[in-house]
Amino acid sequence: MLLSDGYHALEHKIISGLDNTSSWTWIGEPRSLLVNGHALSMCNSSTLDTNLPSGTRCSTSCGWETFRVRPGRKYRLRVIGATTLSQMSLKLEGHNMTLFEADGTYLDPLPIENLEIAAGQRYSVLIVTPDVIPEKSSFWFNIKTIWRPVTTYGAAVWTYDTNDSTSVDKTTRPVDLNVKVALPNETFGWVGCDMSPFDKTKNPPSQDQVTRKITLIGEQVVKQKSYRWDISNTMLFGETSSSNPQVPFLVQYYMAPEDRCTPYYAAALANGGLDPVNHFYPAKLGEILDVVVQNYAGPTDQGFIEAHPWHFHGAKYWDMGAGTGNFSYEALEEIQGSAAGSPIPRDTSIVYGGPGASYTGANITSGSPGGWRLFRLSITDPGAWVVHCHLLPHMIMGMQTMLFAGAENLPALPPSFVEEFLTFNGAAVGNSTYEPMHRSYFELPVVAHGQGK
Ligand SMILES: [Cu+2]
């Protein structure tokens, strides 16, 4: 169940609007919520967007995605948050859902009323079908966006009708769907505190093993007449598109060993973990980091706070807990003490808005704290790992930084790899006068497929 959100605009126009310093333009709320690419868009034949190129135009033949299922089965529904902006809540009519996997980590089975999923997150839920086909053979998924000032609705169909015939009209959304399949209001944390890893041998490092704490403060600011999201008053990406790093850090590192972007560890330690020269967060292999991501009401729009799904590349972190106000270990201990579950390893978690979140329409004082979340990382894999909010407009607006882990442990590259692959337009690319160069650095294993039929 691939969830995405549709906008009636072309990608480059959306990006240039978010990047524009003279007339900044927000992407806006989605026009449709899609399941596996299917939706009934918020338009009809009289309101088609005629200024879009053909092929992108809304069609009157749209319909909801349909899952055809059988009785007496156990279905694993893999739900993928492949959205641009939207965080969604969904529920299936007449069936129970049991959550058992989050971002690739198996969980103790957890019955849930509704599933809440943000961009970048993945979940698995178990749905058991009745032994015989129910008299009413088609059921609705109700889907809505959450944590936004405007709610957008979607749907999908779950049907036992093997002919997929006329038992349900897939070209409308039932007018009483919000009543028949009522979705609860936004709840801080959802069932995050109830999740436990299925594998009981997996425990997070203890607090006394933590070598360092880093705090990333996310807040909305205005720079050069554009709305931006900065991180602890610094922007590695997104201040302006021309100030973005032009060469990937790993390429810089390998290309110019004498002038490489070597982390300034001592200066970073004295600067809250942020390397003041390179503007990334360096770490050494073997370190165990507590990264607090803390929402603050920025100076825009009377203290604007939103929910952000933070995604860490590299190894998974331990999701230690989430709260409101300013983070403290005492607050964390209190939250963990009352939690039914225990920390799980995963890779995308929501840092909630907390009190005064924008969706409530509340005004809060600029500079006040909102929600926080603690991510505990064991630094095991060298690399330049991006750490970012998974809402794509927020990334463009600057909500992304980098953890440069174990720079001195990066492996040496094969001979001539730098000239061929890391040099812009190197031999591996080719041009009008020569074919792309290819070289085998190692033998691929031979894999037998089936019995050669
Ligand atoms: Cu965000």
Where b means 16+ CB within 10 Å and e means fewer, 289-309 reads bbbbbbbbbbeeeebbbbbbb
DSSP 219: E
CATH entry, 207-409, from 3.40.1280.10, 3.40.50.10610, 3.40.50.970, 2.60.40.420:
2.60.40.420
Q: Which residues pair with 165 in a beta bridge?
A: none
Instruction: Of 392, 437, 134, give the one whose Cα is nearest residue 238.
Output: 392
Q: Rounded to the nearest whole angstrom, what is the distance from the C-alpha of residue 383 to the centroid of ligand 1? A: 24
Query: How far, in Å, CA of 102 to CA of 124, rounded?
Result: 7
Burial (CB < 10 A; 0-12, 13-18, 19+), residue 118, is: buried
Q: Rounded to the nearest whole angstrom, what is the distance from the C-alpha of residue 77 to the centroid of ligand 1? A: 27
pLDDT value, residue 10: 86
**Mean predicted confidence (pLDDT) in 251-258:** 81
- Res 443 pLDDT > 80: no
Question: Fold match between 2-187 and 207-409?
Answer: yes
Q: Rounded to the nearest whole angstrom, what is the distance from the C-alpha of residue 330 to the centroid of ligand 1? A: 27
Query: How far, in Å, CA of 384 to CA of 294, rounded?
Result: 22
- Res 43 pLDDT > 60: no
What are residue 406's phi and psi, to 5 degrees?
Answer: 55, 50
Q: Rounded to the nearest whole angstrom, what is the distance from the C-alpha of residue 172 to the centroid of ligand 1? A: 32
Q: Rounded to the nearest whole angstrom, what is the distance from the C-alpha of residue 391 to the centroid of ligand 1? A: 5
Q: Rounded to the nearest whole angstrom, what is the distance from the C-alpha of residue 237 to the centroid of ligand 1? A: 14
Q: Rounded to the nearest whole angstrom, what is the distance from the C-alpha of residue 365 to the centroid of ligand 1? A: 20
pLDDT value, residue 119: 98
Pairing outcome for strands 153-159 and 66-68: parallel
pLDDT in tens, 174-186: 889 999 999 999 8
DSSP 38: B
Q: Which CATH superfamily is domain 2-187 in?
A: Cupredoxins -  blue copper proteins (2.60.40.420)
Q: Rounded to the nearest whole angstrom, what is the distance from the C-alpha of residue 105 to the centroid of ligand 1? A: 24
Element (H, E) at 141: strand 138-146
For the chain, the average pLDDT equals 88
Residue position matching structure tokens 């999701």? 319
Helix, coil or strand: residue 234: strand
pLDDT value, residue 338: 94
Query: How far, in Å, CA of 140 to CA of 245, rounded?
Result: 46
Q: Rounded to the nearest whole angstrom, what is the distance from the C-alpha of residue 26 to the centroid of ligand 1? A: 13
Q: Rounded to the nearest whole angstrom, what is the distance from the C-alpha of residue 247 to the centroid of ligand 1? A: 24
What's the per-residue H, E or C state across 51-101? CCCCCCCCCCCCCCCEEECCCCCEEEEEEEECCCCCEEEEEECCCCEEEEE
Q: Rounded to the nearest whole angstrom, what is the distance from the C-alpha of residue 151 to the centroid of ligand 1? A: 17
DSSP-assigned states of every residue in 180-206: HTPPPPP-TTTTGGG--BS-TT--PPP
Q: Which residues pair with 179 in a beta bridge?
A: none
Q: Rounded to the nearest whole angstrom, what is the distance from the C-alpha of residue 359 to the centroid of ligand 1? A: 14
pLDDT value, residue 248: 87
pLDDT value, residue 333: 97
pLDDT in tens, 328-366: 999 999 999 999 999 999 999 999 987 666 666 666 788
Q: Rounded to the nearest whole angstrom, what is the distance from the C-alpha of residue 389 to the centroid of ligand 1? A: 5
**Mean predicted confidence (pLDDT) in 111-127:** 98
Amino acid letter, residue 57: R
Q: Rounded to the nearest whole angstrom, what is the distance from the C-alpha of residue 358 to the centroid of ligand 1? A: 12
Q: Rounded to the nearest whole angstrom, what is the distance from the C-alpha of residue 146 to the centroid of ligand 1? A: 13
**Mean predicted confidence (pLDDT) in 365-376:** 92
Q: Rounded to the nearest whole angstrom, what is the distance from the C-alpha of residue 397 to the centroid of ligand 1? A: 9
pLDDT in tens, 62-94: 788 999 999 999 999 999 999 999 999 999 999
Which pLDDT band, with edges at 50, 70 and 90, does 453 fall under? Answer: very low
Q: Rounded to the nearest whole angstrom, what is the distance from the C-alpha of residue 43 to the centroid of ligand 1? A: 28
- Res 111 pLDDT > 80: yes
Q: Rounded to the nearest whole angstrom, what is the distance from the C-alpha of residue 393 to the centroid of ligand 1? A: 8
Q: Which residue has the higher pLDDT, 143 or 418?
A: 143
Instruction: Of 357, 351, 238, give the one whose Cα is nearest residue 297.
Output: 357
Q: Rounded to the nearest whole angstrom, what is the distance from the C-alpha of residue 424 to the centroid of ligand 1? A: 32
**Mean predicted confidence (pLDDT) in 252-263:** 78
Q: Rounded to the nearest whole angstrom, what is the distance from the C-alpha of residue 307 to the centroid of ligand 1? A: 7
- Quote the percentage of the chain above a pLDDT of 90: 58
- Res 429 pLDDT > 70: yes
Strand 87-92: give its sheet, edge to edge.
Answer: 66-68, 153-159, 138-146, 87-92, 115-117
Q: Which residue has the higher pLDDT, 320 or 56?
A: 320
pLDDT value, residue 317: 98
Q: Rounded to the nearest whole angstrom, what is the distance from the C-alpha of residue 308 to the centroid of ligand 1? A: 4
- The residues spanned by each domain of the chain are 2-187, 207-409
Residues 6 or more apart in contact with residue 410 via CB below 8 angstroms: 250, 253, 254, 382, 383
pLDDT value, residue 315: 92
Q: Rounded to the nearest whole angstrom, what is the distance from the C-alpha of residue 29 to the centroid of ligand 1? A: 14
Q: Rounded to the nearest whole angstrom, what is the distance from the C-alpha of residue 9 to the centroid of ligand 1? A: 21
Q: Rounded to the nearest whole angstrom, what is the distance from the C-alpha of residue 335 to the centroid of ligand 1? A: 24
Instruction: Of 38, 28, 50, 26, give the one whose Cα is nearest residue 2.
Output: 38
- Res 393 pLDDT > 80: yes
Instruction: Of 285, 264, 284, 283, give the one whose Cα is nearest residue 275.
Output: 264
Instruction: Of 120, 452, 148, give the one whose Cα is nearest residue 313.
Output: 120
Q: Rounded to the nearest whole angstrom, what is the distance from the C-alpha of residue 396 to the centroid of ligand 1? A: 10
- Res 434 pLDDT > 70: yes
- Res 452 pLDDT > 60: no
- Res 41 pLDDT > 70: no
Which pLDDT band, with edges at 50, 70 and 90, does 45 fall under? Answer: very low
Q: Rounded to the nearest whole angstrom, what is the distance from the C-alpha of residue 356 to the centroid of ligand 1? A: 16
Which pLDDT band, with edges at 50, 70 and 90, does 44 fall under? Answer: very low
